[in-house]
């Protein structure tokens, strides 16, 4: 899907390397499985190919990244694949160990859908609509995931188990197929949060606690902050 707030963000460069190339390399470093970039944009696909990667062009009509992933999966035609991880193309700071932990726990427990979250560090986050929050049934820990009750952009209600959501998902193939075949729900449309389609249709999403936070690039200010971090590390 095209970025509404910061057009072309996956191709923005930091120290000469695009954001999408950084995410691609981070995914490869996990060494979990084959890494494929699903995109509607030929320029992004070519950027991945320049970095010796595989990209699959998909329809421009998808309403969510999850729908796009299902199309890409259909084109792969590999019946041996049991789980698929969806990484966001604008989060190059996501931690390799957090990705591996998500994969291991989700597989061990045979979760339909699993995702990551981190403890809220600031009250300012609660009123930031660009940072998604998740409510869980019970308190989560590094080895004790919990079911998500709801996801919010802004919530006036106080919750006991409220976390900052990190936009990575691991799906079992049957759950991904079921999600794709469901109609978009009113909650999903209203909040522009695809994961609500799953919750509204009783597909459980288990939340695993991450050790490190990430910065998603939704605005120009996000990009500036990300540049500061990565240029400092360089």
Each residue's pLDDT tens digit, 3-38: 556 778 999 998 899 999 999 999 999 999 999 999
Q: What integer best gives the mean pLDDT of the chain?
A: 92
Backbone φ and ψ of 115, nearest 5°: -145, 180
Tokens of 161: 């188990």
Tens-digit pLDDT profile for residues 74-108: 999 888 999 999 999 999 999 999 999 999 999 99
- This prediction has a pTM of 0.91
For CA atoms 28, 33, 39, 45, give the dihedral sign: positive
Cβ contacts of 35 within 8 Å, gap of 6 or more:
24, 27, 28, 53, 54
pLDDT at 234 over 60: no
DSSP output for 107-123: HHHT-SEEEEEEE---G
pLDDT exceeding 90 applies to what percent of the chain?
74
pLDDT at 187 over 90: yes
Tens-digit pLDDT profile for residues 48-73: 999 999 999 999 999 999 999 999 99
Can you give the pLDDT at residue 2?
45
pLDDT at 133 over 60: yes
Can you give the pLDDT at residue 8?
84
Q: Hey, which CATH number is domain 9-233, 3.90.550.10, 1.10.10.1590, 3.40.50.300, 3.40.720.10?
A: 3.90.550.10
pLDDT at 1 over 50: no
pLDDT tier at 121, thresholds 50, 70, 90? confident
- In 3D space, the residue among 198, 203, 208 whose CA is nearest the CA of residue 65 turns out to be 198
How many other C-beta atoms can be found within 10 angstroms of the C-beta atom of residue 77? 7
Contact 196, 185 (CB under 8 A): yes
Can you give the pLDDT at residue 230?
83
Backbone φ and ψ of 156, nearest 5°: -85, -20
């Amino acid at each position: 899907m095209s970025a509404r707030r910061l057009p072309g963000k996956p191709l923005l460069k930091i120290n000469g390397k695009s954001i999408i190339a950084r995410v691609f390399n981070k995914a490869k470093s996990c060494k979990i499985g084959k890494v494929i970039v699903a995109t509607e944009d030929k320029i992004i696909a070519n950027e991945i190919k320049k970095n010796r990667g595989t990209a699959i062009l998909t329809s421009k009509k998808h309403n969510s990244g999850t729908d796009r992933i299902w199309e890409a999966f259909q084109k792969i035609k590999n019946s041996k694949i049991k789980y698929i991880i969806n990484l966001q193309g604008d989060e190059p700071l996501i931690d390799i160990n957090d990705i591996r932990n998500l994969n291991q726990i989700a597989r061990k427990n045979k979760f339909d859908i699993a995702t990551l979250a981190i403890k809220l560090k600031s009250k300012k986050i609660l009123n930031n609509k660009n940072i998604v929050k998740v409510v869980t049934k019970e308190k989560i820990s590094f080895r004790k995931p919990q079911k998500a009750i709801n996801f919010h952009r802004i919530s006036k209600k106080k919750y006991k188990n409220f976390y900052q959501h990190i936009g990575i998902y691991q799906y079992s193939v049957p759950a991904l197929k079921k999600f794709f075949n469901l109609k978009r729900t009113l909650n999903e449309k209203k909040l522009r949060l695809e994961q609500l389609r799953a919750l509204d249709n009783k597909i459980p999403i288990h939340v695993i606690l991450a050790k490190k936070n990430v910065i998603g690039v939704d605005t120009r200010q996000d990009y500036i902050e990300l540049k500061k971090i990565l240029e400092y590390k360089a």
